[in-house]
Structure 1
Amino acid sequence: MVKIEKMASGRKIVVPGETIVSGDAFLPGEGAYRDGKDLVAGRYGLSDISEKFVKVIAVSGVYIPRRGNSIIGEVIGITFNGWLVNFGGAENAFLSMMEVPRYINKGELREHFDFGDLISAKVWNTNGKGVDLSVKMRGFGRLEGGQLMQINPNKVPRIIGREGSMVNLIKDATGCEINVGQNGWVWIRGGSIDNEIQTRKIIDFICENATITGLTDKVEKFIKDMGIRKGVEIIAENTHKEKKVKEKK
């Protein structure tokens, strides 16, 4: 059996050089490195231990695009063979006409994506020449209606939560569609402007309190205090289910 000599419980704020866990049970992930038996924080942020990896989620900084990331951007230019997309990076990204689900003629580019369109896309390549996008896969493409908000990209993991738990809580409470880009652009579409505003307020609250422990409980209380009837009912139902599970144990 592998012995873990020291292990931090849950997520906590760590500073560069701070030991997160000791032993051979885990491997260093993003933002962490090994120093002898210790896995050490390489930057300021939230320590996260999951499966066999230890990583540090940064709580400040800029978005660095990586292959496989899902982002949201705005079409700001059209070339002879594709679209230029602003995603908040140092340079614009490029979406080739070859990276859309169906064949289109060069003269039909504006009919597919036009100036000002918001799109959800996947980063399929990054190199010295720039960032290349694709919308070939299911779930990517134009985002119609709704509204856009921008947050610190390093707060995105807190908005999404473990296995999507936090963003699903917000969706269930407000009834809004939410698409969170890893570049910190968040698209919201609800049945009414009020629903969209409620969603923005919840996301702002999470961003402001991203470094605290017990965030989910605080978000649930915030939703209750806002008086969102649907959200209160869902939280009460989930609490009841959790109690039943504990009683069975």
Structure 2
Amino acid sequence: MNKIILPGEKVSDKPEQMPGTYIHDGKTYADVISLYDEEGKKSVPLEGMYLPRAEDYIVGVVCDVRFAGYNINIAPSFNAFLSGRESRDKFELGDVVFAKIAEVDEVNSVALTDARRLTGGKMIEVSPVKIPRVIGKKNSMVNMIIDSTKSEVYIGRNGRIWMSGGDIELTVRAIQKVEQEAHVSGLTDRVKKFLEDEAESE
């Protein structure tokens, strides 16, 4: 069962490393408002900024073209670097790209790899901490949305989501519903019913 935990609320009597928590006197407390899975003993923050991690996939925007590569904006006031040797594509200012974080160093400089250009679609932004809910367990949520809308969807851990083809408007509305109701139990069933109702109304 999921429950909302507030900042300062005790999560565990033991020291446990979970997102959005801190440890004090051998016990674990919520640092931000979070959704806590009492069965799985997992905490999912419901607010917060994106902190880049190696192996994350992100959706970014080319903000500077340089001789050696590209500066890619991946969050407000936060850029990453893509070496020209790390991509077969040539990018231009303003291009939207899907890429993997290869490395984050001790001063939070981010290096990207495996970048590809995304064209002809629409990009939206949601709170980065809601991205796990948009993806769902074993990709269940995003796959359900894709199956219903027939859209191609690329989800960045940085909170940016790009989509093209199919029913883009419905895809956006479904993702926004997930973001707005991320704290609600039974979310998958609620989104499934929403998509089914939309299909019947067409």
What is the TM-score with the length of structure 1 in the denominator? 0.72
The counterpart of 1:17, out of the listed 5, 8, 24, is: 8
The counterpart of 1:212, out of the listed 180, 184, 195, is: 184
1:94-123: CA deviations, max 9, x gaps? 1011222x5xxxxxxxx6112221111111
CA–CA separation in structure 2 for the residues paired with 1:97 and 1:152 = 30
User: Of the two structures, which has the highest relative contact order with CA contacts closer than 8 Å and spacing of 6 or more?
Assistant: 2
| Cα displacement (A) at 1:90 | 2.3
Higher helix share: 1
Aligned to 2:137: 162
Which consecutive residues of structure 2, in runs of 5 or more, have no partner in the other structure?
none
- Tell me how large the CA RMSD over aligned residues is: 2.5
Aligned to 2:49: 62
The counterpart of 1:198, out of the listed 141, 148, 170, is: 170
Q: Which amino acid aligns with 1:147?
A: K
The secondary structure found in structure 2 opposite 1:145 is: coil
| Pairs within 5 Å for 1:81-230 | 81-100=68-87, 102=88, 112-127=90-105, 128=107, 130-135=109-114, 140-191=115-166, 195-227=167-199
CA–CA separation in structure 1 for the residues paired with 2:71 and 2:26 = 47
| Cα displacement (A) at 1:55 | 3.9
| Cα displacement (A) at 1:227 | 2.5
Higher strand share: 2
The ranges of structure 1 where at least 4 consecutive aligned residues each deviate by more than 3 angstroms after the TM superposition are: 19-23, 32-40, 48-51
Which consecutive residues of structure 1, in runs of 5 or more, have no partner in the other structure?
1-9, 103-110, 231-249
What is the TM-score with the length of structure 2 in the denominator? 0.87
Is contact 2:151-2:163 (8 Å) kept?
yes
Kindly tell me the number of residue pairs found equivalent between the two proteins: 201
Aligned to 2:31: 42
Q: Which amino acid aligns with 1:65?
A: P
| Cα displacement (A) at 1:37 | 7.4
Give percent identity, aligned residues only: 35
**Residues 49 and 131 (structure 1), Cα distance of their counterparts in 2 relative to 1, 3 Å cut:** farther
Is contact 1:11-1:48 (8 Å) kept?
yes
Q: Which has the larger radius of gyration?
A: 1
Q: Which amino acid aligns with 1:210?
A: A
The secondary structure found in structure 2 opposite 1:112 is: coil
Aligned to 2:58: 71
Q: Please identify, of 111-120 and 198-207, the stretch whose mean Cα deviation from structure 2 is larger.
A: 111-120
The secondary structure found in structure 2 opposite 1:207 is: helix
The secondary structure found in structure 1 opposite 2:78 is: coil
Is contact 1:63-1:89 (8 Å) kept?
no
